[in-house]
Amino acid sequence: MRRYSRITGTGSYLPPRRLSNEDLAAELAQRGIETSDEWIVGRTGIHARHFAAPDVASSDLALEASKKAIEAAGCTPQDIDLIIVATSTPDMIFPSTACILQDKLGAHGCPAFDVQAVCSGFVYALTVADAMIKTGAASRALVVGAEVFSRILDFSDRTTCVLFGDGAGAVVLQASEQPGILAADLHADGKHVGILCVPGNVSGGNVLGDPLLKMDGQAVFKLAVGVLEKAARATLDKAGLTDADIDWLIPHQANIRIMQSTAKKLKLPMEKVIVTVGEHGNTSAASIPLALDHGVRSGQIQPGQTLLLEGVGGGFTWGAVLLKL
């Protein structure tokens, strides 16, 4: 009998502090930075984002999302035998946020590690967990995307600081005789490192370089639109399915215009796209599991439906996972 992996529970968490575009514009105005709700909505579809309190770390957001996913899966933290956290805003340089989350969950002993693929992190982490389940290395994985991007934003750069938010999403991925994850397609091209990066580090107790986010928005936009279609098609081909088999597209939530363009290329009406960027902003690795959980809990996504998850971001990284819920 073939061994597959299936999502059996989803969860998500947004920190309570919600900033509308007007709230953010008012805060930026105090720094002499000019922006507007009209510009942000028109260029991105973002109306609001959530920012974590200063003492709240990615592992805290991950914990809340994980508890909900574990409860939805009908299991306990002790049943989890693999933890993967996708994040670019870890609590510490080391240990991994996955180890910190493991301790907060009270689930000790199972392997736990972080995946760093920026906004593609969740599809990377899900693919790794799926592979480990298929080989028998794990049976019930907790796969999380968690970010506090507010910590790495340059609030003097209006071209980036209005785009991102904080949050976490999680799934329990379990061994099953029924698929589950049907196919995945991951890529990276390091020649584009410079178009989206946080070019800083620490050395000898000092910050080297610049520890704030830098993005060439137009370069990212152009690359994203092209690679998302290719990854979608490659994943469908691997599974022997077509555009018409997709019930829901759950893209990385960076910009409504990128999502519209991808949907158009896949001949999907926007009614088949889960859109949360308006209320969440871009939460990097957290954005796909946040959108997935929103779709499940709102009743839009139903068991048995076919979902295409797609991520794209810094690295440059991109990829897609096709699955049956």
Binding site for ligand UT7 (CB under 6 A): 35, 39-40, 43-44, 119, 158-159, 162, 196, 217-218, 220-221, 224, 254-255, 258, 282, 313
Owner of token pair 């902003």: 281
Asked if residue 189 lies in contact with residue 313, where contact means CB atoms within 8 angstroms, the answer is no
For ligand UT7, which is the closer residue by CB, 130 or 310?
A: 310
Asked if residue 295 lies in contact with residue 248, where contact means CB atoms within 8 angstroms, the answer is yes
Beta strands 82-86 and 140-148 are parallel
- Tokens read off for 218: 């137009």
For ligand UT7, which is the closer residue by CB, 15 or 121?
A: 121
Residue 282 annotated among the catalytic residues of the structure: yes
Catalytic residue among 110, 161, 280, 282: 282
| Shortest distance, position 155 Cβ to ligand UT7, whole Å | 11
Q: How far apart are CA 49 and CA 287, in angstroms?
A: 12
| Residue 258, phi then psi, degrees to nearest 5 | -70, -40
What distance lies between CA 241 and its chain's CA centroid? 24
Q: What is the CA radius of gyration of the chain?
A: 19
For ligand UT7, which is the closer residue by CB, 59 or 284?
A: 284
Residue 108 annotated among the catalytic residues of the structure: no
| Shortest distance, position 280 Cβ to ligand UT7, whole Å | 12
Catalytic residue among 119, 161, 280, 294: 119
For ligand UT7, which is the closer residue by CB, 111 or 217?
A: 217
| Shortest distance, position 196 Cβ to ligand UT7, whole Å | 6
For ligand UT7, which is the closer residue by CB, 26 or 208?
A: 26
Q: How far apart are CA 269 and CA 124, in angstroms?
A: 26
| Shortest distance, position 33 Cβ to ligand UT7, whole Å | 8
Asked if residue 322 lies in contact with residue 235, where contact means CB atoms within 8 angstroms, the answer is yes
- Tokens read off for 183: 């196919």
| Shortest distance, position 40 Cβ to ligand UT7, whole Å | 6
Nearest residue to ligand UT7, scored by beta-carbon proximity = 217
Residue whose C-alpha is closest to residue 165's, from 311, 21, 319, 29? 21
Q: How far apart are CA 167 and CA 283, in angstroms?
A: 6
Residue whose C-alpha is closest to residue 174's, from 132, 146, 121? 132
Catalytic residue among 50, 252, 280, 294: 252
Residue 119 annotated among the catalytic residues of the structure: yes
For ligand UT7, which is the closer residue by CB, 12 or 253?
A: 253
Q: How far apart are CA 98 and CA 141, in angstroms?
A: 12
| Shortest distance, position 129 Cβ to ligand UT7, whole Å | 22
Catalytically active residues, by annotation: 119, 252, 282
